[in-house]
Every structure is written in structure tokens, then in C-alpha cells.
Amino acid sequence: MAKKEKNAFMIWYHSYQGRKVVGSVYSLGASLVILGALFKILHLPGASQMLMLGMCTESLLFAIGVLDEPFEDVKWSNIFPSLVGEKKDPLINYIGGGSVSANQGMTAQGVNPIKDEDVKAFSESLKSLSEAAQQMAGISKVAGLTDTFAQNITSASQAAAQFATKQQNLDAASDALLASYTGITENMATVQANTKLYVEKADTINKNLAAINSVYEIQLKNIQNQAELVEKQTAIINVVAGDINKVQQAMAVSAVDVEKYKDETAKLAKKVADLNAIYGNMLSAINS
């Protein structure tokens, strides 16, 4: 079955340059997620917005991961027999007419997949090289082929090392992201505990306010009762003051009458004295 042809974007995405760009995007996105978690943990201004931006970025990164293809299970034992304990001359796999399948090619970051045409051409070249090598007896030629093989192995090892390095970087970013999630979880637990404590304190404050309101209502009723009593006492005092005014007015009238009585009494006493004097004179005249 023929493989489905890839469009230009998928070809670029799985190329070395594309994987480099995607790796950079992953690293920047992970940094943004960690910054959002840091803002939330330290309660910095704009923490909610930063956390929302970080979570959206993480969702986008996971969505981009859908485009990644699974790694091919390369049978390295066919290329390196020493991996399964077989001691063979590595040149035998390349010299002597052996062919290499396209599924056995190494696929790593920075190395393009081997096509069937390239494998056939490479196989024919190896056959020609094998025939030429059998006709040659010079050790220098064989040494040159060994150097070429060693260079190829070195290139493959470098590609595998680059892949391992990038995998380690991705693992480190995942560990950092997991640590940030752990910090967020712990922070959320602390926030929940603080919220519960705040609710309890708010309930206590509400109860205290209710008690204060009850006391205030009682005091207000007492003040109202006292105000009513003061009004009644004021009315009584006003009545008493009116009566006192009437008594004062009556006493003022009595004082006037007393003055008149005193004047009349004085006049009467004077008249009686005059009359006594007249009687005295008359008696004196009679006796003489």
C-alpha cells in the first residue's frame, strides 16, 4: 500500500527546520506557563490573567502535538549485530551484495528518511564496491572504506545524541511544568483553607453584629421610653409652673389689698386719736 502523500506544511513541519521552530515554540510556551504559575503563587498583579494565558498556551502546545508522528521502531540489530551478541564484521553488512531495507534506515532529527530509490541505488553501489573490493588486495583501500564506515557511524551517533538531548530538554520542561502544577495545587489548597477561615471569621462577625444590633434596639427602646417620660414630666412641670404663676398673681393682688387695708387702718387710728383728744378737752373743760 502506497503511503499517503504529505502536503507542504507537513513536509516542513517534520523537516529539521520545522522541528527546530516547533521545539522553540514548545520552550517559549513552557516558559510562559511557568511564569503564569509564578505570578499566581506569588500573588503578583495580573496573576489571574497570566495564569489564564499560560493555560491557554499549554492547551495550544498540546493541540500542536497532534501533528507529531510516532517514531519508527528501527531494528538497530540489523545494522549493529553486536547489539544482540553476534560478532560479525560490520563491513559484511555493506560489502558483499547485502541490501538495506527502507524500514531499516535511521530516522532522527536532522536526517531525512531514506527512499526506496536511494536504497536500491545504494545497494547497487555496494555491490559494485564489493566486486571492486574483492579484486583489490591493497590494505589502503580497505582502510579507506573502514574510515568511511566509521564516519557514517559517527554521524548516526551525533544524530542520535541530538535527539536524546532534545528529548532531555522536553523532559526537563515537562518536569518544570509538573512542578508548577504541584505549586498551583498547593497554593489552591492554601487559598481554600484561607477562604474557609475567612468564612468562619465572617460568620463570627455577623453574629457579633447581630448581638450589637439587638443591644442597640434595646437601648433605643429605653431611650424612647425615657424621652416619653421626659415629655410627660415636662408637661407636668409646665402645669405646675402655670399654677405657680397664678399663685404669684393672686399674692400680688393680696399685697395690694393689704396695703390698702394698712392705709385705711392708719386713717382710722388717726381719727380715733383726734376723737380722744376732743373728748379729753371736753372732760377738762367740764372739770374746770
pLDDT by residue (tens digit) across 170-204?
777 777 777 777 878 777 778 788 888 878 888 88
d(C-alpha 112, C-alpha 71), whole Å: 13
Confidence of residue 96 (pLDDT cuts 50, 70, 90): very low
Angle subtended at Cα 176 by Cα 18 and Cα 195, rounded to the nearest 5 degrees: 130
Each residue's pLDDT tens digit, 33-79:
999 999 989 999 999 999 999 899 989 988 888 887 776 666 776 76
Yes or no: say if 113 and 99 are a contact pair by the CB < 8 Å rule.
Answer: no
Residues 6 or more apart whose Cβ sits within 8 Å of residue 221: none
- 9-29 pLDDT, tens digit each: 888 888 888 889 888 888 998
Residue 109 has pLDDT above 50, yes or no: no
What interhelical angle do 16-42 and 47-64 show, nearest 10?
Answer: 150
Burial of 40 (0-12, 13-18, 19+ CB in 10 A): buried
Mean pLDDT comparison of 30-34, 264-268, 276-280, highest-scoring range: 30-34
The rounded distance, in Å, linking the Cα atoms of 189 and 181 is 12
pLDDT, residue 170, reads 72
End-to-end, the C-alpha distance of the chain in Å comes to 193
pLDDT at position 85 is 57
Overall pTM > 0.95: no
Query: Where along the chain do its domains lie?
Result: 1-69
Count of alpha carbons within 13 angstroms of residue 93, beta-carbon side = 17
How confident is residue 121, by pLDDT bands cut at 50, 70 and 90? low
**What is the reported pLDDT for 74?**
65
Q: Are 179 and 33 in contact (CB under 8 A)?
A: no
What one-character-per-residue DSSP string does the chain give?
-PPPPP-HHHHHHTSHHHHHHHHHHHHHHHHHHHHHHHHHHHT-TTHHHHHHHHHHHHHHHHHHGGGPPPPP---HHHH-GGGGT----GGGGTSSS----GGGS---TT-PPPPHHHHHHHHHHHHHHHHHHHH---HHHHHHHHHHHHHHHHHHHHHHHHHHHHHHHHHHHHHHHHHHHHHHHHHHHHHHHHHHHHHHHHHHHHHHHHHHHHHHHHHHHHHHHHHHHHHHHHHHHHHHHHHHHHHHHHHHHHHHHHHHHHHHHHHHHHHHHHHHHHHHHHHHHHH-
Distance CA 206, CA 200 (A): 10
Q: Residue 152: what pLDDT?
A: 56
- Give, to the nearest 10 degrees, the angle between helix 16-42 and helix 139-287: 20
CA distances from 177 to 30, 59, 171, 187 (A): 7, 13, 10, 15
Model pLDDT for residues 123-174, shown as the tens digit of each residue: 666 666 666 556 554 444 444 444 555 565 566 556 656 766 766 777 777 7
- Distance of alpha carbon 173 from alpha carbon 27, whole angstroms: 7
Write phi, then psi, for 282 (nearest 5 degrees).
Answer: -65, -45
